[in-house]
Amino acid sequence: MSKVIISSLYDSDTFKMACRQFDQAADAISLPEDIRDRTKYPRRCVAVALPVRRDDGTVTVFEGYRVQHNLSTGPAKGGIRFHQDVTIGEVAALSLWMSWKCSLAGLPYGGAKGGVIVNPGQLSEGELERLSRRYMQELIPFIGPHIDVPAPDVGTNEKIMGWMMDTYSNHIGHHSPAIVTGKPLSLGGSQGRREATGAGVAYLITRYLEDLRIPVKEATVAIQGFGNVGGEAALALSDYGAKIIALSDYTGGVFNAGGIDVRKALNYVKYQKVLRDFDGGEPITNEQLLTLKCTVLVPAALERAITAETAPKLQCRLLAEAANGPTTNDASRIIEDRGDIELIPDVLCNAGGVIVSYFEWLQNLQNFYWSREEVLQKLFAILDRAKEAVEYQRRKFKFGRRLAALTLGIQRVADAKQRRGLFP
Ligand code: NAD
């Protein structure tokens, strides 16, 4: 009965996709029935109405959500998305993936996610600040440094995290940096946090290229999504010596067989906001980018970009899922059946963001700050451990890499729930 109600609350393709992944992983490790639904469904969610005074004096009410999937292994942790297509089902799916990701990386967190239905590009700076502060204000009864710690995601950034931290700190009456991560350095942000997700993606790509015996300097890379994650991954990969042959954002893409100057592209986007009309190569569509012949394909935009229609046409050797859920379940099956593409699944590939968020939270709680070198060294050590664990699980059970990563993440959460017991 409860199962039906919860499923319909979150009803969406992305939530169904995350649940199907859970079911497959639970079957693969024979997870006992009495722990399954407890582990699968989000623990709680809030929906909030956010009235915001516009610059012209009118008021617009925006809708926002926060979904806390798991609180059994520590405070919940997860980003806040500002995007016009946000749904509560999408936010719930992202909260499940956060749980498995934190668990796989061995972080003492559960998963959460937040979202507001808004196109932030259509708000003035003042409107964006009022919306960010109002959203945080509405969440205050549900979050805290030991309850749920938000971070940036699509459409949010360190400036927004700073406003949110200030709103929370004003409410409780003292500086409380550990309430959010991904803050500016001057407000208790961590060295290396801004680039952490992309740097982690790039590091794992170099490790998997080593396994494939492909020198990074001979690798060509196509990246969909040129925001925080795609931009930083592009920069780190080009610094490792890889050739970035294609980049894109929601306005379309650019292709240059000789290699794109990533710093020039980043500088262009800093001022123009989008890649449209960037003159570093020929224009291409997002569809063309995904099916380009390249060594590494990095989807770093939104969920469900690679579909059953695209999957047979992929021409990469390594698919590095920098975005969350970029490959539909049907597409994933096709890729696995093809057997010629190695996959770095999202819960491993983009874990760098939450790992350095964890470091930021630790530094805030201790008021003791680390150098960038220390942060990156510790980040890469955790990614190496997680990669080794996935490879071991894969060999031991003859699983695909996604199933190996998910089963590890899910098993640890289910174990924690079982050992804690059921209250009352
Ligand atoms: P962002 O808002 O900084 O950038 C998103 C990029 O994707 C932009 O360049 C945007 O133009 C592009 N985009 C949006 N829709 C597109 C479309 N239909 N086709 C092509 N490009 C499109 O967001 P981000 O923080 O870089 O997040 C990107 C992905 O990485 C998301 O899936 C997010 O959940 C995931 N992620 C982010 C972090 C983080 O630390 N920011 C951590 C882990 C995972």
**C-beta 327 within 6 A of ligand 1:** no
**C-beta 299 within 6 A of ligand 1:** no
Q: Are 333 and 391 in contact (CB under 8 A)?
A: no
pLDDT tier for residue 105 given thresholds of 50, 70 and 90: very high
Q: Are 49 and 122 in contact (CB under 8 A)?
A: no
> How many CB atoms neighbour CB 285 within 10 A?
11
Query: Residue 355's pLDDT is what?
Result: 98
The structure tokens listed for 259 are 């290699």
The structure tokens listed for 150 are 């938000």
**Whose CA is closest to atom 4 on ligand 1?**
227
Query: Residue 5's pLDDT is what?
Result: 60
**C-beta 120 within 6 A of ligand 1:** no
Residues annotated catalytic, as ranges:
113
Q: Read off the pLDDT of residues 59-84 as tens digits, 9 standing for 90 and up.
A: 999 999 999 999 999 999 999 999 99
**C-beta 176 within 6 A of ligand 1:** no
**Whose CA is closest to atom 8 on ligand 1?**
227
d(CA 375, CA 352) in angstroms, rounded, equals 11
**C-beta 248 within 6 A of ligand 1:** yes
pLDDT at 367 over 50: yes
Query: Residue 2's pLDDT is what?
Result: 47
Instruction: Name, in order, each residue with C-beta under 8 angstroms of 176's C-beta and a sequence gap of 6 or more.
Output: 145, 165, 168, 169
**Alpha carbon of 368 to ligand 1 centroid (Å):** 31
Query: Residue 153's pLDDT is what?
Result: 97
Q: Which residue is listed with tokens 């894109």?
A: 248
**Alpha carbon of 353 to ligand 1 centroid (Å):** 13
**Whose CA is closest to atom 2 on ligand 1?**
154
The stretches of 108-240 forming alpha helices (DSSP H) are 125-139, 158-172, 193-211, 228-240
> How many CB atoms neighbour CB 212 within 10 A?
11
Give the mean pLDDT of 355-362. 98
Pocket test for ligand 1, best of 67, 90, 153, 357 (most atoms within 8 A of CB): 153
**C-beta 14 within 6 A of ligand 1:** no
Q: Are 320 and 201 in contact (CB under 8 A)?
A: yes
**Alpha carbon of 229 to ligand 1 centroid (Å):** 6
> How many CB atoms neighbour CB 157 within 10 A?
16
Give the mean pLDDT of 279-305. 98
Q: Which residue is listed with tokens 């668990």?
A: 103
**Whose CA is closest to atom 36 on ligand 1?**
323
**C-beta 127 within 6 A of ligand 1:** no
**C-beta 353 within 6 A of ligand 1:** yes
Pocket test for ligand 1, best of 154, 159, 276, 278 (most atoms within 8 A of CB): 154
pLDDT tier for residue 97 given thresholds of 50, 70 and 90: very high
**Alpha carbon of 155 to ligand 1 centroid (Å):** 8
Residues β-bridged to residue 222: 246, 297
Average pLDDT, the chain: 97
**Whose CA is closest to atom 23 on ligand 1?**
154
pTM over the 0.75 mark: yes
**C-beta 281 within 6 A of ligand 1:** no
Q: Are 353 and 360 in contact (CB under 8 A)?
A: no
* Strand arrangement, sheet containing 220-224: 282-284, 252-255, 243-249, 220-224, 296-299, 318-320, 342-344
The alpha carbon of 371 is separated from its chain's Cα centroid by a whole number of angstroms, namely: 24
Picking from 109, 200, 229, the residue whose alpha carbon sits closest to that of residue 383 is 200
The stretches of 273-309 forming alpha helices (DSSP H) are 286-290
**Which residue type occupies 81?**
R
d(CA 54, CA 32) in angstroms, rounded, equals 52
Give the mean pLDDT of 351-360. 98
Query: Residue 8's pLDDT is what?
Result: 86
Q: Are 369 and 363 in contact (CB under 8 A)?
A: yes
Q: Are 127 and 95 in contact (CB under 8 A)?
A: no
Q: Are 141 and 106 in contact (CB under 8 A)?
A: no
**Whose CA is closest to atom 18 on ligand 1?**
250
**C-beta 225 within 6 A of ligand 1:** yes
The alpha carbon of 3 is separated from its chain's Cα centroid by a whole number of angstroms, namely: 26
Q: Which residue is listed with tokens 């290229």?
A: 209
Q: Read off the pLDDT of residues 302-332 as tens digits, 9 standing for 90 and up.
A: 999 999 999 999 999 999 999 999 999 999 9
Picking from 419, 420, 395, 393, the residue whose alpha carbon sits closest to that of residue 406 is 393
Backbone angles phi, psi at 255, to 5 degrees: -125, 135
pLDDT at 1 over 70: no
On the 0-12 / 13-18 / 19+ scale of CB atoms within 10 A, 362 is middle
Instruction: Name, in order, each residue with C-beta under 8 angstroms of 217's C-beta and a sequence gap of 6 or more.
Output: 241, 242
Number of helices (H), then strands (E), belonging to the chain: the values are 15, 12
Ligand 1 atom closest to the Cα of residue 350 is 43
Residues β-bridged to residue 144: 148
> How many CB atoms neighbour CB 147 within 10 A?
15
d(CA 105, CA 120) in angstroms, rounded, equals 31
Q: Read off the pLDDT of residues 2-51 as tens digits, 9 standing for 90 and up.
A: 454 677 899 999 999 999 999 999 999 999 999 999 999 999 999 999 99
**Whose CA is closest to atom 5 on ligand 1?**
227
Give the mean pLDDT of 208-235. 98
